[in-house]
Amino acid sequence: MKTAYLILLSFLVQTVCSFSSAVAEPLPSWNSNKTKRTLVEFVESTTTPGSKKFLEPSDRIAVFDNDGTLWAEQPVYFQALFIFDRIKQLAPKHPEWKTEEPFASVLRDDYKSALAGGKESLLKMTMATHAGLTTEDFHGIVKQWIDSAKHPKTSRPYTEMIYKPMLELLEYLRDNGFKTFIVSGGGIEFMRPWVEKVYGIPPEQVIGSSIETKYEVKNGTPSLVRLAELNFIDDKAGKPVGINQHIGRRPVLAFGNSDGDFEMLEWTTAGKGPRLGVLIHHTDSKREWAYDRKSHIGKLERGLDEAKTRNWLIVDMKRDWEEVFLPDNG
Amino acid sequence: MKTAYLILLSFLVQTVCSFSSAVAEPLPSWNSNKTKRTLVEFVESTTTPGSKKFLEPSDRIAVFDNDGTLWAEQPVYFQALFIFDRIKQLAPKHPEWKTEEPFASVLRDDYKSALAGGKESLLKMTMATHAGLTTEDFHGIVKQWIDSAKHPKTSRPYTEMIYKPMLELLEYLRDNGFKTFIVSGGGIEFMRPWVEKVYGIPPEQVIGSSIETKYEVKNGTPSLVRLAELNFIDDKAGKPVGINQHIGRRPVLAFGNSDGDFEMLEWTTAGKGPRLGVLIHHTDSKREWAYDRKSHIGKLERGLDEAKTRNWLIVDMKRDWEEVFLPDNG
């Protein structure tokens, strides 16, 4: 009698489980079309036991660019906006900035001129705002900024400028045993304070650009001090290098949106077995922004030219996404 | 009636579970003494909901040195023995090595002379054997070596020269929601090919010393080429730096065995909340080796002097370990 109930119970549990997974259609913010089908088919074929394309859980490594792939990157990278805000905050301690470029331009709210100096200007501003303090202090500053700053165009918190379809994709992949990593040209320590809460990606799964740090013990208290010296640029050909340094194996899935992600997709999709490279194409000037070949941010040219021959999937934001951003909580 | 059975079933399951966990005493190769009690109490107090010392699963980060902490390191670091074997293997392609030091000494089996040149000699030998090939080729070479090479004294495979009590500890921690990382002065790519199988630690949770790599595309095939240039030394004050680079948060548990691990334990135990630093003291000349202050490998002096005032736990191998190595499968 008891055995009969146990069998019944086991049957009920199985039925309920398969029923609920059949009902909960994955990726609800993705329109039901070929793009979505390609993503779902990749996941199903690589995770169904017995499938020819089955991947062991340890091989299910998925990497995501951040700027323009998981959250927006217009009118400029959000980290640049953090830098501008930080320069203004630090200005009282730096009277010389009133006449020193690129700081003077930032203090006049002329961000275009501040960025006109290219890489050199950006590096100067990065070092002035990111170095000379401990990792823990920097972490606190980033956290305070991300919790309070608002996007200049939408007036929404930056953590609401993330793409709902991509968040669903991250969760869908994790539900299917994939380990999700961020591989961004942005600063590793600029992302770590908030990405776990926002994307569900822990700090140890974040790869990014970095400056040098130095271990110091003062009055018996150890700290890691951030130095005004570049350590690693996690962009273009640096992305596969960063992936190897941090992950130590080749991903099977790579998501990017610009030519800065080209080598990451190339490296990922050149491996053996099932692979998928995906480019998010910004085509929606109404709900987001529309840009590619001629953009000063997130330029996408080679990727568009070669996606077809390389069998990479292009996500057309306007066509493929039913929703773009998270609902407005403000 | 059905409900009654369900309640009974639930009660039975609970009883069986608590009974089996009471029976399965953790860390069976550790003698039942104060050392073991300290370890078990740390884990129980940080993982029991409601405990004052409770740590969220995301904070349960445990770091382990490798050489002398997870596996043996005598008569010299096993990676040095890999280097010697590799030099012999490559010698036919390098006739100049017959007269060029330190290679000439290695080819005469005079390892002591080969290592007498200190860091410079070691670096020369490392670059000659670790660089100039792709990451995937190097991975294959390490795998072949670890699968076939034998320890010069015990004639056992190196992967059987790992400490059974530490393997139990790794599993015990993971069973309790801790994420386990290796933080070794050894080469990151020398460890990654085998540590997942041996320790259950995946490549992305391995931190070590490294040389530079470069992304290259030849005839359409991308690869990462290993360059004869140092990238990072993960030793002493480098260990907290490496931990920050890879993990991005401060561990709560750190295990080492030499003064090369001092800063890692210092950094770990200086954080807020429950923390534990542990040093494995090699005291067993019969079953393993006995060495500390005067050893050329794994020198432990400052750690022994300061462990008491810093409240670090010393594991006395002879006293605390009922077994040392894995059973001999040969």
CB spacing of A224 vs B245 below 8 angstroms: no
Nearest to A250 by CA among B134, B181, B190: B134
| A241 interface with B at CB cutoff 8 Å | yes
Tokens of B247: 């993990």
Q: Is A240 close to B215, i.e. CB distance below 8 A? A: yes
Virtual CA dihedral for B160, B165, B169, B171, nearest 10 degrees? 50
Checking if the pLDDT of B139 tops 50, the result is yes
With a cut of 90, say whether residue B106 has pLDDT above it. Answer: yes
Nearest by CB to residue A5, choosing from B2, B188, B266, is B2
Asked whether the ipTM of the predicted complex exceeds the cut of 0.90, the reply is yes
What pLDDT is recorded for position B1?
47
Q: Write the pLDDT tens digit of every residue in B225-277.
A: 999 999 999 999 999 999 999 999 999 999 999 999 999 999 999 999 999 99
> What is the average pLDDT across B110-121?
91
Cα–Cα distance list, A156 to A8, A326, A328, B242 (Å): 51, 11, 8, 36
Check if CATH label 1.25.40.10 holds for domain A28-73+162-320. no
For chain A, domain boundaries: 28-73+162-320
CB-CB neighbors (< 8 A) of B249 in chain A: 192, 203-204
Place of tokens 């019944």: A8
pLDDT given for residue A17 in this prediction: 45
A179 touches chain B (CB under 8 A): yes
pLDDT of residue B117: 87
The confidence score (pLDDT) of residue B10 equals 56
B194-217: average pLDDT: 98
- Do the beta carbons of residue B215 and residue B207 sit within 8 Å? no
* Per-residue model confidence (pLDDT) at position A119: 87
Q: Which of A58, A215, A245 sits opposite B237 (nearest CB)?
A: A215
**3-class state of residue A132 by DSSP:** coil
Q: Average the pLDDT over B134-139 and give the result.
A: 97
Q: Is the pLDDT of residue B16 over 50?
A: no
Distance CA B266, CA B303 (A): 10
Cα A137 versus chain centre, distance: 23
| B27-74+157-320 CATH | 3.40.50.1000
Maximum separation of any 2 CA atoms in chain A, in Å: 88
pLDDT of residue A118: 87
Mean pLDDT by 10 residues, chain A (330 residues): 54 49 80 98 98 97 98 96 97 97 96 90 95 97 98 96 98 98 98 98 98 97 97 98 98 98 98 97 98 96 98 98 87
Contacts of A69 (CB under 8 A, 6+ apart): A163, A166, A255, A256, A257, A261, A280
Please state the φ and ψ torsions of residue A186, each to the nearest 5 degrees: -70, 170
- Alpha-carbon separation of residue A23 from A17, A20, A40 (angstroms): 10, 5, 15
Encode pLDDT of B142-183 as tens digits: 999 999 999 999 999 999 999 999 999 999 999 999 999 999
**Closest residue of chain B to A216, computed from CA coordinates:** B237
- Cα–Cα distances (Å) from B149 to B133, B145, B328, in that order, read 21, 5, 15
pLDDT of residue A327: 85
Closest CA in chain B for residue A181: B204
Model-level pTM? Answer: 0.93
Of A161, A157, A167, the C-alpha closest to A64 is A167
**By CA distance, what is B3's nearest residue in A?**
A5
pLDDT score of A261: 98
Tell me the shortest Cα–Cα distance from A212 to chain B, in angstroms: 9
pLDDT of residue A329: 67
